[in-house]
Amino acid sequence: MSDPTIIQELESIRQSGLDALAGLNSEEELQAWHAAHLSRTAPVMLVFQKLGKLTPEERPVVGQAANQVKVALETAFGERSAAVKEQALAQALASEKLDVTLPGRPVVHGRLHPDTQILRELYRVFGEMGFQVYRSREVETDEYNFQMLNFPVGHPARDMQDTYFIDAGERGDNPLVMRTHTSPGQVHAMQEASATNPQNPPPVRIILPGMCYRYEQTDARHETQFDQIEGLAVGPGITFTNLKGTLSDLARRLFGQHVRTRFRASYFPFTEPSAEFDVECFLCGGKGCAVCGGGWLEIGGCGMVHPNVLRNGGYDPERYSGFAFGLGPQRIAMLRYGINDIRYFWENDLRFLEQF
Ligand code: PHE
């Protein structure tokens, strides 16, 4: 066997191998090709086996030529395999029904009602100021909702709080009512505290959050159902200055250092003196709008606890004084979030609720 013959044979092995590979399109065909052209019994491999019979001069030349053919076939096989795989993937994608360009389905997150959010914030802020949370019932007696708070039967100030009565007159002058404010909780809390030590009742510093009800004409600022947060601080030597400081500090903590606030003289039977507490209206920048009227939004009433109320709670007004306030958390939320109608809160309109 002469050198040129083997070299020609190798060349034809290479050529026929590459020709056979060119038309292949499936994994099975490729495997069969590999068995025929690159397995141990394939023609190019048989040439390696024959090397031993060649002359020492021919051996390196033929060996090198055979190796080049083997490498060429292996390289071509690798390239063809990759191309076949890619083709198969493209076909699978083309026949697929999945449209990967469609937008994903939005994940719906649950969220807290804006009222819950503002209440939690208020609990936190008052907590930092040292107020504890005290709760009392929504169904009250006339006695606690009014009489203990210095509104005797027939008192004209009762007209300020149109009341839902919930009995048919069986209880005489002490009917059951839906509480019109959280102030009855002041008396419950003081009575409970003073009962622990009637001679020297302990100081009280609490907030009383809860739902209140009034039979009212509704408008942008008034609802028949609303939250209040009552505050009460009773102890020796508490002054109106403490009240002003507490509410001003609250407004700064809620709305920022530069918020403008004002106290307007007012009247409540259970505080003396009494005031209303206003915050500058952010909705209109203090110019006056449908929500605030004159550029200020009242967020609550306040005053020094009336001696009769202290006495009803078991505290001697000669030794103790106190301040109280009643805030409207929804009014605060309106200012905070720019909500221009209080009636949105309980309408359960998701377009409103989803904004918070
Ligand atoms: N209870 C009063 C109201 O609902 C608010 C208030 C509370 C005023 C405490 C003074 C002190 O209108």
pLDDT tens column, 185-199: 999 999 999 999 999
CATH number of the domain that residue 282 is part of: 3.30.930.10
CB of 325 sitting under 6 A from ligand 1: yes
Interval 122-149 mean pLDDT: 96
pLDDT band at 96 (very low <50, low <70, confident <90, very high): confident
Which atom of ligand 1 lies nearest, measured to the CA of 160?
12
pLDDT band at 97 (very low <50, low <70, confident <90, very high): confident
> Residue 61 falls within a domain, yes or no?
yes
CB of 268 sitting under 6 A from ligand 1: yes
Say yes or no to pLDDT of 250 above 50: yes
Domain boundary among 60, 95, 130: 95
Strands 296-305 and 271-280: antiparallel
Which pLDDT score is estimated for 232?
98
SS3 call for 141: strand
> Residue 103 falls within a domain, yes or no?
no
Say yes or no to pLDDT of 142 above 90: yes
Are 50 and 198 within one domain? no
Highest mean pLDDT among 48-52, 284-288, 311-315, 336-340: 311-315
CB of 21 sitting under 6 A from ligand 1: no
**Residue range of the domain that includes 29:** 3-95
| Cβ pair 218, 224 in contact under 8 A | yes
User: How far, in Å, is the centroid of ligand 1 from the Cα of 182?
Assistant: 8
Q: What is the dihedral of CA 264, 268, 272, 276, to 10 degrees?
A: -20
User: How far, in Å, is the centroid of ligand 1 from the Cα of 324?
Assistant: 8
Distance CA 320, CA 266 (A): 23
SS3 call for 87: helix
Domain boundary among 95, 125, 159: 95
> Residue 188 falls within a domain, yes or no?
yes
Which pLDDT score is estimated for 110?
86
> Residue 101 falls within a domain, yes or no?
no
Distance CA 283, CA 293 (A): 11
- Of 71, 190, 180, which is closest to residue 134 (Cα–Cα)? 190
Interval 116-136 mean pLDDT: 95
Interval 340-355 mean pLDDT: 91
CB of 263 sitting under 6 A from ligand 1: no
- Of 235, 277, 272, 201, which is closest to residue 131 (Cα–Cα)? 235
Which pLDDT score is estimated for 241?
97
CB of 269 sitting under 6 A from ligand 1: no
Report the Cα 262 to chain-centroid distance in Å: 32
Which pLDDT score is estimated for 202?
98
Q: What is the dihedral of CA 42, 46, 49, 54, to 10 degrees?
A: -160
Are 257 and 312 within one domain? yes
Interval 169-188 mean pLDDT: 95
| Cβ pair 126, 231 in contact under 8 A | yes
The CB-side HSE value for 243 (13 A sphere, CA atoms) comes to 31
| Cβ pair 211, 227 in contact under 8 A | yes
Report the Cα 203 to chain-centroid distance in Å: 37
Interval 36-64 mean pLDDT: 88
Look over the chain and give the mean of its residue pLDDT values, rounded to a whole number: 92
User: How far, in Å, is the centroid of ligand 1 from the Cα of 318?
Assistant: 23
User: How far, in Å, is the centroid of ligand 1 from the Cα of 330?
Assistant: 15
Are 133 and 29 within one domain? no
Distance CA 226, CA 211 (A): 6
Which atom of ligand 1 lies nearest, measured to the CA of 232?
9
The CB-side HSE value for 19 (13 A sphere, CA atoms) comes to 6
CB of 331 sitting under 6 A from ligand 1: no
Say yes or no to pLDDT of 92 above 90: no
CB of 183 sitting under 6 A from ligand 1: yes
CB of 326 sitting under 6 A from ligand 1: yes
Q: Cis bond leading into 103, ω under 30°?
A: no
CB of 210 sitting under 6 A from ligand 1: no
> Residue 218 falls within a domain, yes or no?
yes
User: How far, in Å, is the centroid of ligand 1 from the Cα of 204?
Assistant: 18
For ligand 1, atom 10: residue with the closest CA = 302
Interval 128-150 mean pLDDT: 96
Q: Which of 182, 183, 187, 274 to mutate to test the pocket of ligand 1 (most atoms within 8 A of CB)?
A: 183
pLDDT band at 3 (very low <50, low <70, confident <90, very high): low
Are 90 and 135 within one domain? no
**Range name among 29-43, 91-105, 124-138 with the lowest pLDDT average:** 91-105
Quote the pTM value. Answer: 0.70
| Cβ pair 177, 140 in contact under 8 A | yes
Distance CA 281, CA 279 (A): 6
Are 34 and 83 within one domain? yes
Interval 267-282 mean pLDDT: 94
Which atom of ligand 1 lies nearest, measured to the CA of 183?
1
CB of 303 sitting under 6 A from ligand 1: yes
CB of 250 sitting under 6 A from ligand 1: no
Strands (E), 92-222: 132-133, 139-141, 176-178, 204-213
Which pLDDT score is estimated for 160?
87
**Helix segments in the chain, DSSP class H:** 3-22, 27-38, 43-50, 58-95, 114-128, 142-145, 184-196, 240-255, 307-312, 329-337, 350-353
pLDDT > 90 fraction of the chain, expressed in percent and rounded: 63
User: What is the b/e burial string over 77-103, where b = at least 16 CB atoms within 10 angstroms of the residue's CB?
Assistant: beebbeebeeeeeeeeeeeeeeeeeee
Q: How many CB atoms lie within 10 A of CB 180?
A: 22
| Cβ pair 279, 296 in contact under 8 A | yes
Are 89 and 136 within one domain? no
> Residue 172 falls within a domain, yes or no?
yes
Are 143 and 288 within one domain? yes
**Number of compact structural domains in the chain:** 2
Interval 89-108 mean pLDDT: 85
Interval 245-250 mean pLDDT: 96
CB of 321 sitting under 6 A from ligand 1: no
Phi, psi of 178 (to 5 degrees): -80, 130
Are 320 and 191 within one domain? yes
Interval 143-153 mean pLDDT: 96
Are 224 and 333 within one domain? yes
Domain boundary among 63, 95, 127: 95
End-to-end CA distance of the chain: 91
Are 146 and 260 within one domain? yes
Say yes or no to pLDDT of 1 above 60: no
Are 278 and 139 within one domain? yes
Distance CA 172, CA 155 (A): 16
> Residue 107 falls within a domain, yes or no?
no
User: How far, in Å, is the centroid of ligand 1 from the Cα of 129?
Assistant: 20
CB of 131 sitting under 6 A from ligand 1: no
Are 70 and 188 within one domain? no
> Residue 250 falls within a domain, yes or no?
yes
CB of 181 sitting under 6 A from ligand 1: yes
CB of 323 sitting under 6 A from ligand 1: no
